[in-house]
């Protein structure tokens, strides 16, 4: 969508989202959204944001600090996410995230984003390989931030790597075709082609998410 500022009634029409059932709306962003006017996002009923922080053991998103600082000047609740690598140790991935995201910079638990990339969809790592990397990563983040990390994932990756060994972690699920009502999820990424006002990068779209609960429950959980 382009043009006039987008209102809550518009962005919920992107897919069939029940606004009464899921009144808490949020976004996730990275360097692709460029410079972000966080107040403008808040004015469009954005209540939370997941900000890309790191990838693997050595990459930090170049907009991370600017986004953390900008979002912190609003009432938007903030988290930061790490893009999981099947190709480096969980311990060094945790070190990368911890070095990049101060404890007091986020209001919600940190996130580990585990999904297929490059040729991994066709050459899937084994469950044991993934577990050997993911377990120490999650453990170190929990120890440092004092809270269980959220796991973001897609449905195929959830059923292959997460359900059996990591179902006790809060789940942020990507499902842009239908509501994942058979899963116990905390956040749902329901749209990857949304548009709002207030960001000025190469990517015109922004991901839309909802929290599984009321506004009161959200504010109580993430004080």
Catalytic residue annotation: 115
Q: Which SS3 state, helix, strand or coil, does residue 55 take? A: strand
| Closest to 63 measured CA to CA, from 74, 77, 49 | 49
Task: Return the H-helix or E-strand segment holding 129.
Answer: helix 127-145
How far apart CA 176 and CA 194 sit, in angstroms, is 11
CA 20 to chain centre: 22
- Between the CA of residue 179 and those of 184, 189, 209, 217, what are the distances in Å? 12, 10, 12, 20
Torsion sign, CA atoms 193, 47, 109, 33: positive
| Closest to 137 measured CA to CA, from 202, 81, 221, 213 | 81
**Phi and psi at residue 26, in whole multiples of 5°?**
-150, 175
Query: What would the two tokens of residue 164 be?
Result: 């059996």
| HSE-up (13 A, CA, CB side) for residue 89 | 4
């Amino acid at each position: 969508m382009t043009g006039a500022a987008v209102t809550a009634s518009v962005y919920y029409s992107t897919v069939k989202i029940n606004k009464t059932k899921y009144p808490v709306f949020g976004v996730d962003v990275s360097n692709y959204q460029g410079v972000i006017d966080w107040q403008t996002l808040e004015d469009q009923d954005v209540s939370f944001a997941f900000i890309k922080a790191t990838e693997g053991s050595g990459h930090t998103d170049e907009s991370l600090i600017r986004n953390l600082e900008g979002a912190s000047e609003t009432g938007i609740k903030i988290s930061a996410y790490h893009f999981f690598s099947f190709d480096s140790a969980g311990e060094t991935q945790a070190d990368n995230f911890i070095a990049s995201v101060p404890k007091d910079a986020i209001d919600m638990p940190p996130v580990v984003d585990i999904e297929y990339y490059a040729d991994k969809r066709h050459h899937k790592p084994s469950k044991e390989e993934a577990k050997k990397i993911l377990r120490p990563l999650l453990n170190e983040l929990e120890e440092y931030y004092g809270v269980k990390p959220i796991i973001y994932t897609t449905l195929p990756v959830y059923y292959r790597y997460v359900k059996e060994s990591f179902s006790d972690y809060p789940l942020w699920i990507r499902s842009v075709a239908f509501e994942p009502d058979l899963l116990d999820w905390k956040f749902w990424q329901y749209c990857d082609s949304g548009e709002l006002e207030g960001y000025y990068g190469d990517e015109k779209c922004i991901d839309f998410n909802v929290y599984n609960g009321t506004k009161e429950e959200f504010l109580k959980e993430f004080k």
